Structure 1
Amino acid sequence: MIYTGNATEDAPAERGWLLGHFQPDGDVRHSADVEIKWGVHTKGERRAEWVVGERRTALLLLVSGRFRLEFRDRDVVLAEQGDYVVWGVGEDHSWEAEEESVVMTVRWPSVPGYAVR
């Protein structure tokens, strides 16, 4: 199976998520192992509420802009293209786009029952 697309065009259908358990069974983008998101954020955009009790590991990679990840004990600013942060299970977090930003998030495993956010 092969799927071709454009992240900017495909992402809005699942609130940015391109790959994961939420894609239809039989679609090559369906996965129980990993989720991938293409996030396009306007300057000043913030996550509406903190993620608490996270059950997955995640990596967030800056494609463009300036993006702040907030954790309970520290903030991490991604300022240069290619900067990234990885966090593990149980790390409460939130975020803010300090400039217009594009980020790619990879998290694993893909857990059914979590809302696509």
Structure 2
Amino acid sequence: MRDGIYVGQAGIDGAENGGWLLGHFMPPGLDVRHSAEVEVKWGVHPAGDTRAEWVTGERRTALLVLVSGRFHVELRDRTVVLTRPGDYVVWGPGVDHSWLAPEPAVVLTVRWPSVAGYKVAAN
């Protein structure tokens, strides 16, 4: 990073941080990718990939956009199936959710604000 500008590659940078490119979890200080206002994730999911547990008590708003493949966003009262590049879903605070990739998929997720405490513990 130089002069408040960071140039990267989502697949490489995301792989180093669980897909996350921007948010509160990036190094504070001079790293322009650090933000308490918004989080951005480049999610690369192999076929059969699923979230290990539901997100409950959600305090953020999220936008999830399908880049490629097929992706299911599980909500308590329905499943949203994203099938075409550009399909997206938005949900707000209080909406419990999970997800699964029935086939290889790439999704871009934007959440706001950037809040700690939603990471699934490693097994």
TM-score by length of 2: 0.91
Call closer, same or farther: CA 1:13–1:116 in 2, change over 3 Å.
farther
Call closer, same or farther: CA 1:11–1:31 in 2, change over 3 Å.
same
For residues 64 and 104 of structure 1, what CA distance do their matches in structure 2 show?
10
Find 1:44's aligned residue among 44, 48, 51.
48
Aligned match of 1:17: 20
Contact 2:55 2:118 in 1 (8 A): no
Computed over aligned residues only, the root mean square deviation of the Cα atoms, in angstroms, reads 1.0
DSSP-derived class of the 1:69 partner: strand
Aligned match of 1:64: 68
Contact 1:17 1:116 in 2 (8 A): no
Aligned match of 1:53: 57
**Letter matched to residue 92 of structure 1:** D
- Following TM superposition, by how much is the alpha carbon of 1:12 offset from its aligned partner in structure 2, in angstroms? 1.8
Task: Structure 2: give runs of 5+ residues left out of the alignment.
Answer: none
Find 1:5's aligned residue among 5, 8, 11.
8
Find 2:83's aligned residue among 79, 91, 110.
79
4+ runs of 1 displaced by more than 2 Å? none
**Letter matched to residue 32 of structure 2:** V
**Letter matched to residue 9 of structure 1:** I
For residues 58 and 9 of structure 2, what CA distance do their matches in structure 1 show?
29
TM-score by length of 1: 0.95
- Following TM superposition, by how much is the alpha carbon of 1:18 offset from its aligned partner in structure 2, in angstroms? 0.4
Task: Structure 1: give runs of 5+ residues left out of the alignment.
Answer: none
Call closer, same or farther: CA 1:15–1:8 in 2, change over 3 Å.
same
2:37 is the counterpart of 1:33: yes
